[in-house]
Amino acid sequence: MTRRPRPGLLLGAFGAVALGDLLALLADLGPGHAVCKPLLMPLLAAYVAVLRGPRPLIAALLFGWGGDTFLLFGAEFAFLAGMGSFAAGHVCYLVLFKRYGDTRRYAPGGGSPRARGTALVAVYAVALVATVVLLWPDLPADMRGPVAGYSLLLTAMAFGATTLGPRAAAGGALFLLSDTLIATGVAHWPQLPRPDFAIMLTYIAAQFLLATGVLALPGARPGTARAYGESETVGTTP
């Protein structure tokens, strides 16, 4: 009988590769980044799979792996292919949010969930419009449409993550920040020192928080109780 990998070992390997990738970026070691980056999402997806997490979550992480791999190449076609792969991952996340999201989480400390939800919609809508409007004049003409469409889907994902609780919401916000940093580079805006480090730091944290935020939800894994009082045996969450 084949022994399944231990979740802790896979998570530890993910953490080690993430640290290696970030150190490689700080040291400007391109080969180290090229080796570590494509390993990140498969390790995180394997961790989710061993814990029998939802298939759309595994798919989202693997689409993230596709995006990571394409973006290692400098060609415009590779950039667009990477954007398309990430977009497919966002669709998978939206499927998860539809399945497990609850707008009652908008007001965890009391108050009106509707009012809190309306405020969140306004915040993310303003962020979307401001980003697209500001970047638009500086983007290459053939990139404006794809970037605008991707930004809409990305913002929808980040907003949808707020229905899963604070951990996933933070992941969605960090994903939005990471991809915005990429977009400013495409628009040739002034960049932070070591911009690739900032992009990867926020991206790795985003995917980790989204994945673990989903895994922690009631009903997201076999053997855990479904959300909001539906009957199943309660199991532990990671």
Tokens of 13: 């390997």
Q: Are 162 and 172 in contact (CB under 8 A)?
A: yes
Cα→Cα distances 97→56, 67, 113, 126, Å: 10, 21, 17, 21
- Which amino acid belongs to residue 47? Y
pLDDT of residue 42: 98
pLDDT of residue 215: 95
pLDDT of residue 111: 57
pLDDT of residue 75: 87
Mean pLDDT (10-residue bins), the chain, 238 residues: 78 98 96 97 97 97 97 91 97 96 64 70 92 95 95 96 93 96 94 94 98 92 57 38
SS3 content of the chain, % helix, strand, coil (to 5): 75, 0, 25
